[in-house]
Copies of this chain bind each other. A is one copy, B any other.
Amino acid sequence: MNDTRFSSAIHTLILISESETAMTSEQIAESVGTNASYIRKLTGLLKRNGILDSGRGISGFRLNIHSEELSLKRVYEALYETEHVHLFDLHQNPNDGCIVGRHIKPVLTELFAKLEAEAGQALRAVTLADCIETMKTRIGRENK
């Protein structure tokens, strides 16, 4: 059930943003604690969405969007290939013969869409730069 795509991708993006030299998928994988092919899967999705860039004579990746303009909502959209933050699944076979069973799907679809839109707003409010800032504050505290 564990899905660490989002978490691994934020780690990857912080590395790419903060590294002085372009990092390869092997180097990223070593820091994230996974294998390079998994990182290439994530970077592939991030490239397709225009978040990352690679090639053009350099080896490794670079950010295509300034970290202050890169919201976690966009990262989520790239990784899950959807504009909707997914929270809950609908049960698929309610009984049409029952009045509640007949109306439950639109009721829950509307409710879940509202909750998911709110979760999307929360993700839109956080940028990669915010994550980096939080990390730098922690690193600064450690070095005191």
Contacts and interface: CB of A to CB of B under 8 A. Distances in A.
Tell me the dominant secondary structure on chain A's binding face.
helix
B103 A139 contact: yes
Interface string A107-144: 11011100100110011001000010011001100100
Chain A interface bracket (under 10, 10 to 19, 20 to 34, 35 or more)? 35 or more
A93 interface: yes
A52 interface: no
Contact of A10 (B3, B93, B101, B108): B108
A7 B88 contact: yes
B6 A88 contact: yes
Given A100-B135, A115-B123, A90 B4 contact: yes
